């Protein structure tokens, strides 16, 4: 998608992340520090008012394009929704024209929005588990640039930055395209639809020891300040929720009777 202004002032790097502070930050391809946000705090783009207006146009237009592609009646991703959502993060990828004298030649390729969601997920015994997994909320690559590796680039950056395995994600009503993408690139098959419109995969409950946020009432200590940017939840202290049944080795639910409906039939993500 083209814009009638340079994207360089907003997105100095091709792949960046944006949170509720509306400050684009660099995604480091070699990120492996125990305090990952130290990198982000040193490598970010402070926006002046006009640049923030431009950022809003990018987010709003891309969000509207995503909604149209999915046949939604309401737009899922806007700057205002991102600003007012405590734990949502947008990964966004752009492509700059090599000739900087050409106006309107920069392209926003696509974006991926994730966030922690409090969900009730059924395990293999039918028990409800109250959990807060990293969840895929919106995923869009412009139609003219699909099958060029951009979606994989976005997804891989998210997995590394959030330090999450694909099998540990909850996906909000994935489309056929996303289901195929997850099978091809992540080896995720046999989706388990939930009654809350999310989908998880076999192995969802396994090996969760490192994720202190997964079971909200099992958190042992508040989040460290340096970790807020990456794991997204816990900025204002730990919530107190109760879990009805659990077991770290439990498998996700047997596939529900209803099929995973195409995201094009979904009219509101929340």
For the stretch 192-248, pLDDT in tens is: 999 998 999 999 999 888 788 888 876 444 443 333 333 333 323 333 233 333 344
- Provide the percentage of residues in the chain whose pLDDT is more than 90: 45
**Tens digits of residue pLDDT in 95-143:** 887 665 555 578 999 999 999 999 999 988 888 999 999 999 999 999 9
What's the whole-number mean pLDDT along residues 155-173? 94
pLDDT at 150 over 80: yes
72-83 pLDDT per residue, tens: 889 999 999 999
Number of residues that make up the chain: 270
Tokens representing 20? Answer: 């509720």
> How buried is 96 (Cβ within 10 angstroms: 0-12 exposed, 13-18 middle, 19+ buried)?
middle
Q: How far apart are CA 261 and CA 246, in angstroms?
A: 27
**In the predicted structure, residue 39 carries a pLDDT above the cut 90:** no
For the stretch 46-75, pLDDT in tens is 678 888 899 999 999 999 999 999 888 899
Which residues, 6+ apart, have CB-to-CB distance to 37 below 8 Å? 225, 226, 227, 228, 229, 230
- pLDDT exceeds 50 at position 269: no
Is the pTM above the cut of 0.85? no
């Amino acid at each position: 998608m083209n814009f009638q202004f340079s994207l360089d002032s907003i997105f100095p790097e091709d792949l960046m992340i944006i949170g509720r502070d509306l400050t684009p930050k660099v995604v480091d391809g070699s990120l492996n520090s125990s305090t990952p946000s130290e990198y982000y705090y040193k490598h970010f783009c402070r926006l002046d008012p006009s640049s923030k207006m431009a950022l809003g146009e990018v987010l709003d237009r891309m969000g509207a394009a995503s909604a149209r592609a999915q046949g939604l009646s309401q737009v899922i991703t806007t700057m205002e929704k991102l600003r007012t959502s405590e734990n949502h993060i947008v990964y966004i990828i752009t492509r700059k024209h090599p000739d900087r004298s050409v106006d309107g030649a920069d392209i926003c390729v696509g974006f991926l929005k994730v966030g922690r969601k409090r969900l009730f997920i059924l395990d293999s015994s039918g028990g409800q588990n109250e959990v807060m997994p990293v969840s895929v909320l919106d995923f869009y690559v412009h139609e003219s640039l699909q099958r060029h590796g951009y979606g994989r680039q976005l997804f891989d950056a998210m997995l590394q930055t959030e330090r999450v395995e694909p099998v540990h994600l909850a996906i909000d009503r994935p489309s056929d395209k996303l289901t195929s993408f997850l099978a091809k690139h992540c080896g995720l098959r046999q989706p388990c639809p939930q009654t809350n419109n999310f989908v998880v995969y076999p192995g969802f409950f396994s090996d969760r020891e490192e994720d202190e946020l997964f079971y909200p009432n099992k958190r042992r200590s508040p989040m460290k300040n340096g970790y807020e940017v990456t794991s997204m939840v816990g900025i204002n202290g730990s919530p107190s929720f109760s879990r009805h049944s659990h077991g770290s080795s439990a498998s996700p639910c047997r596939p529900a009777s209803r099929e995973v409906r195409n995201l094009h039939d979904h009219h509101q993500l929340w």
